[in-house]
Amino acid sequence: MSSAKTVLITGGGAGIGLEMARLLAARGRRLVLVGRDAARLQAAADELYQTHGNEVHAVSIDLSEPGAAQRLLAHTREQGITVDTLINNAGSGVIDAHVEIDPPRIARMLQLNVVAVAELCRGYGEFMKRRRTGHILNIASTAAFQPTPYLAAYGASKAFVLNFSEALAKELEDYGVSVSCLAPGPTDTAFFDNVDPRRIEGGHFFAKGRRGNPREVAQAGVDLMARGGLTHVVGAANRCMIFGNRLLPRALVAAVSRRMLRPSPVKST
Ligand SMILES: NC(=O)c1ccc[n+]([C@@H]2O[C@H](COP(=O)([O-])OP(=O)(O)OC[C@H]3O[C@@H](n4cnc5c(N)ncnc54)[C@H](OP(=O)(O)O)[C@@H]3O)[C@@H](O)[C@H]2O)c1
């Protein structure tokens, strides 16, 4: 095995996670890519190996299942993989009126976005603290900074990621371990694939033309981690929006958020 540092990226086979994998592979990192779709992970691993010659280990696991984080920890331990950097990127969102969402979808989303993140930070973070070195990057969202009607539980799950990351950063900062949190705004990935495009077209906050570039988001995450920063909101417009939110009454922010996020009614033809 080479002496290259190893980065484990959940959701490293697609979207923002794959872009981060590409950037880190170019910096010579050894990678562990985690996701459910084994074929897609293997395609990503093959691409990174062919382009950069990096060692890439693909692990197919569904992190929305209870106990999955423990299985991933056991797997890397059994394989003798030392994780120097953990990127908790895998996440999913359900965009709909909360009371109309199939309950198991809510449970799976919270298990993935919240429980798995906390458990992976617990497991790999303990090891990093003992070694007195390591980096953790958690991907939150601009949805973390205010209530998000029609993504109520998703936004709240990202508020958890934001608060949790900042608290953990303070617990670990004296042990040589940095914890950073990246908050992207809407980004053009498969994240929106399960949303009826007619419900978010036109001037909607999630309209395709308004979404950011996943490569730029990934670059912001890699840069944040490299400087050991605490939290970074991607994009000047998003930073302004969040700053403005802090100055306004919460009731007004919630009302504006509702107007911005309400899905458009689909007209029957
Ligand atoms: N796109 C946006 O607008 C946006 C904005 C703010 C924040 N974010 C956050 O950014 C992160 C990355 O999202 P993305 O936009 O890159 O979305 P994406 O293209 O849908 O990628 C999601 C990744 O997570 C993996 N994943 C999903 N469910 C999983 C599960 N149950 N177990 C293991 N892996 C799972 C997927 O791989 P498999 O399908 O193979 O499992 C995929 O690699 C998420 O945390 C998301 O909440 C996204």
Q: Which of 22, 47, 158, 191 to mutate to test the pocket of ligand 1 (most atoms within 8 A of CB)?
A: 191
- Beta partners for 10? 34
Report helix, strand or coil for 87. strand
Domain count within the chain: 1
Domain that holds residue 183: 6-261
CATH code of the domain containing 144: 3.40.50.720
268 occurs within a structural domain: no
**pLDDT score of 224:** 98
269 occurs within a structural domain: no
241 occurs within a structural domain: yes
For the Cβ of 36 lying below 6 angstroms from any atom of ligand 1, the answer is yes
76 occurs within a structural domain: yes
pLDDT tens digit sequence for 189-205: 999 998 888 889 888 99
Q: Is the pTM of this model over 0.85?
A: yes
pLDDT tens digit sequence for 129-146: 999 999 999 999 999 999
62 occurs within a structural domain: yes
- CB burial of 201-239 (b: ≥16 within 10 Å; e: otherwise) equals eeebbbeeeebbebeebbebbbebbeeeeebbbbbeebe
Residue-level length of the chain? 269
Task: With beta carbons less than 8 A apart as the criterion, state whether 9 and 20 touch.
Answer: yes
Find the 15 Cα to ligand 1 centroid distance in Å. 7
CB atoms within 10 A of CB 98: 13
Q: What is the DSSP letter of 202?
A: T
Find the 57 Cα to ligand 1 centroid distance in Å. 19
**pLDDT score of 109:** 98
Of 145, 153, 150, the residue nearest 184 (C-alpha): 145
What is the maximum span of the chain, computed from C-alpha positions, in angstroms?
62
Q: The tokens of 184 are what?
A: 């992207």
Q: Which of 86, 189, 210 to mutate to test the pocket of ligand 1 (most atoms within 8 A of CB)?
A: 189
